[in-house]
Structures are given as structure tokens and as C-alpha cells.
Amino acid sequence: MDDTPTAATFPRSARAPWRLLLQGAALLLAILLLNGCANLATQDPGRDDPTEDARGTDFSPLPAISDKGKAPTDHRDDLWGAVASRFTLPVPDNKRIDAELARYARHPEYLREVSERAEPYLYMIVEKLEAADLPLELTLLPVVESAYLPGALSSSSAAGIWQFIPSTGDYFGLERDTFYDGRRDIEASTEAAVTYFSQLRGMFDDDWSTVIAAYNGGQGTLFNAIRYNRERNRPTDFWSLTNLRKETRDYPARLFALVKIFSEPEKYGFSPHPIKNGPALAQVELDRSISLVKLADLTGLDHDEIYRLNPGFDRSITGGKKRQLLVPRETKGRFDVDTLNSAASEAEDWQRYTIVKGDSFHRIARRYGSSVDEILAINRRQSALARPGEVILVPAGRVDRAVAAGNARTHTVQSGESLWSISRKHGINLAELRRMNAFGDNPVLRPGDKVVVGVASAAETGSGQGGAPSRYVVQPGDTLWHLARRFSTTVDELSALNQLGPDGSLRPGQELVVASN
């Protein structure tokens, strides 16, 4: 079995504060509520009125890491080396650490890849740890937690490079809404992790093996394990604790193993990715919703790059709340007032929509005059599997423009029909159907009336533009069952649309119709 370390291999953390433990009844509440990842609960924004325009944008670079007399000048272009030169925690002589070290050392290519993933963020993380007087060994904790993958998501819904679960993310003020998840925001989640470690060090008197384990298992879990040993007259140092889950027992060993490897990389046949020892990012203040796609186009940034630096944004639209955008420092001059205004204008073309039972992305796209590819792109999705209750972004105003141009798709009311039955027939949320038609709560419908149900296709309007059936080119390994799930349809529907034989066999390169007009 391949034992290459991956983000999924390693445990996820719980989060909780310390100082509340000193405040009377809050002591009991904090211990009960914040007692480790396993015991914490698993899991819409309104538009703020902007009080200032884009002229308030802050383009200043992040503060530099101070030398504190420790960083030699030859680490100017070697941030990992500068970090390792300032490691201060003594590494225990422990068999558990030796075992983890041997496991990591077998995969130098993995460590090289992880050290490269940290490149955009590492300087900022070091700066925040140093400002809080925390050991720089903690720069390696995201390797253990998430392999420095900003989009990492665990089975317990822990997210981001520091792996906050929803409840503890909420506790530390990491906001979540339709457009944004602060647990994946590199800067916001790093600040939350720094706050948590600052509290844990006071809680456990700078016993860093215990502090690190508490980050994984929760401080309540460590207090209980210490009490368990004390009641039996056993040593209470971390390495003597036995009443812990294996992942929590092994967690500090993994970090200390990485400390040894990054301290002497050549000894282990490992060469960390070279990272410049200087600020790499600048902040742009957003006081309104903007389109990240449009912003990338206007500034010449690669779309993937802007998402990699800002993984907290769940959509291509940032939402109406004030947020910070991280951009490469050398590009800061491109984010001027006109650019931000143009990107903001594009964001107004989208609105939120809640998927209902019976919806598919093809029906939604057809209804709003869009395409499946466009809706998936704006929502930063790979899969077109529609889940009832999920909120997505859909085009705003296209239905209204179609009505004005006489290009709307309509339903002719039949005797006995109601707006509710029409909404069910066309798979449209009742409130959305009212909005499309500017209806009140109880509209009077008469047989023969026309009810707008979406934007008409080219076949329906005779325009010859748009509305073409959605198509897909078969890839190796595709099956009808997998494609039906991907495109929120059925095997029977795909077979009928494409006149497939009873065996339903597919061949790579074959073009399929996956949605009709």
C-alpha cells in the first residue's frame, strides 16, 4: 500500500479559546462546547451600503518579517531556510517522532511539492506568527493539517489550510455565507489559528507538545488525559499520556518530524522549494460585490491565480460585504478605481437562486437564458449535480430583457391550473415564478393567460442564436450512469436524446446531447 502522506491521511483540528476559562461560568461552557474536533458540531448575506468608494483601497504591502537578530543575510532568497534558522523548540527524543520522520523521509518529492504550495502565503504566515511571538515551527502545521491545500475539506467538514470545522470557525469569527467561507481565507484563518495557539500556550504553560496536541484534539481532551494520569500517579507530560485517540497521540510527532527534516533537508534527500524572503502579496479592500472573473480579465491575472490567493470566495462573485482581496504585490497598481468599478458592474448581473426538488442545471440554465457551463463557472463548480436547498448564482435580468423583447418562454394557462401547479410543472420555485411575472401573492389566472417561465431558445424564437442543445464529448471511462449523475438527468433520458441502442455503449470522442431545448 502506498503510504505517501496526503491531506486526507492526517487528522483535523478543533479550535477553542483559553481566556474565557478564567471567567467564572464561562469556564464550564468553554470546556463543554470546545472539547475537540470529534465533539464539535458539524455544520444570506445582505448587501452592505458602501460608505466609501474604491478610492479607499489599500495597496500597501504586508509588513516585513523582522530579523530579531536571527535570520542570516544569506537567506534573502530562501524563506524556508530563514524559517528553519529560527526554529526554537527542542525536538524530543521519541520513537513516535522517529517513525513519522521515516515515513515522511521516504517521500521527498511530496515534501517538495508541499513546500512549493506554501509559496504565496508563507511570508504572511511567518509574519503573523512572529508578531504574536509564536514559534515558527508552526509554519509546518498546515503540512500536517492540509498539505497546504487551500481547498482541503475533511469528512468532518474541516476546511482550509488550518482545517477549522464550522462551529469553531464561527467561534473565532470566520464568517460564512453564500459567497464566502472565512475558514478558507488564508489571512483570516491564519489570524484565527494564531489567536488559538496564543491562548493554548497560556493554558498549558508553553508545553508545546501538549499545545500542539490540543490543537488537534481540543484542550478539554488534553485536560482529561492529564487528569487521568494524575489520578493514577503516572507522569503527566504529553508523551506519557495514554487516554487519547491515536491521531492526537501521533499529531505532535508528525510536526516534530517535519521540524527535523526542514532543519536539515539535505540529510534527508530533500530540497525545499526556494521562496523569496520578502512580501509577496498586497491587499485590496472591496467595499462592494465584484466579479473575480472580470477582475482577472481586466488586470491580466490568471483566473486560477486569483482563486488560489483568495480561496475563501466560494463563487466568482464576492458578495456585498466588505472583504479583502489578496493579489500579487507587483500587480497592485492595476487595481484602480475604474477597474474595480467595471468588475462591480459585472457582479450585478447575477442573483442567488435556491435549487428545488426536480431542478437540474440544464433546466435552470434554460430558464435563465444561460448555459450549464456558464452557471458552473460562475459558481466555481465541477459537477452539475443539483442538490435541493443549495444556493447558486444565476443570471439576473435576462428574463426581464426577454420579456421586454418578446423572447420569453411562456406557459398558456389551462382550466383549473394555478400558479403553484404551473411552478411544479416547470420545476420553478413559486416565489421565483411570482418574481418573473411581477405577480402578487394571489394572482388571478384565467385560461389562455400567458405566464413567463424562462428565456426562449433559438428554436422557440426562430432567432437562430443561442438555445442550441448542450453537448458533451465522451471521455475514456465515461458511462451513461456517471454522465446522468453529472448532468442531473437519467440514463433513459440520455439514451432517448441520443438514440442509443439497448446496450448504451459509449466510445471516447463520441458527442452526446445532454440537454434538449
How many C-beta atoms lie closer than 10 Å to residue 137's C-beta?
Answer: 23
Secondary structure letter of residue 329 according to DSSP: G
Residue 328 C-alpha cell reads as 500579487
Q: Stretch 436-445: mean pLDDT, rounded? A: 86
Superfamily of domain 470-515, CATH level 4: LysM domain (3.10.350.10)
Coil/strand/helix, residue 454: strand
Q: Stretch 362-369: mean pLDDT, rounded? A: 86
Annotated catalytic residue 145: yes
CATH for 350-461 is 3.10.350.10
pLDDT at 470: 66
The neighbouring-strand residues paired with 454 are: 409
pLDDT at 502: 63
pLDDT band at 362 (very low <50, low <70, confident <90, very high): confident
pLDDT tens figures, 193-245: 999 999 999 999 999 999 999 999 999 999 999 999 999 999 999 999 999 99
pLDDT band at 423 (very low <50, low <70, confident <90, very high): confident
CA dist., res. 131 & res. 139, Å (int): 13
Catalytic-role residue among 100, 130, 137, 145: 145
Fold identical between 350-461 and 470-515? yes
Q: Stretch 182-195: mean pLDDT, rounded? A: 97
Q: What is the mean pLDDT of the chain?
A: 81
Name the nearest CA neighbour of 59 among 276, 285, 280, 278. Answer: 285
Percent of the chain with pLDDT over 90: 52
Domain boundaries, the chain: 7-268, 350-461, 470-515
- Cell 478543533 belongs to 14
Q: Stretch 242-257: mean pLDDT, rounded? A: 96
pLDDT tens figures, 387-409: 899 999 998 888 888 888 888 88
pLDDT band at 33 (very low <50, low <70, confident <90, very high): very low
The architecture CATH gives domain 7-268: Orthogonal Bundle (1.10)
∠158-162-164 over CA atoms, to 5°? 35
More confidently predicted of 103 and 13 = 103
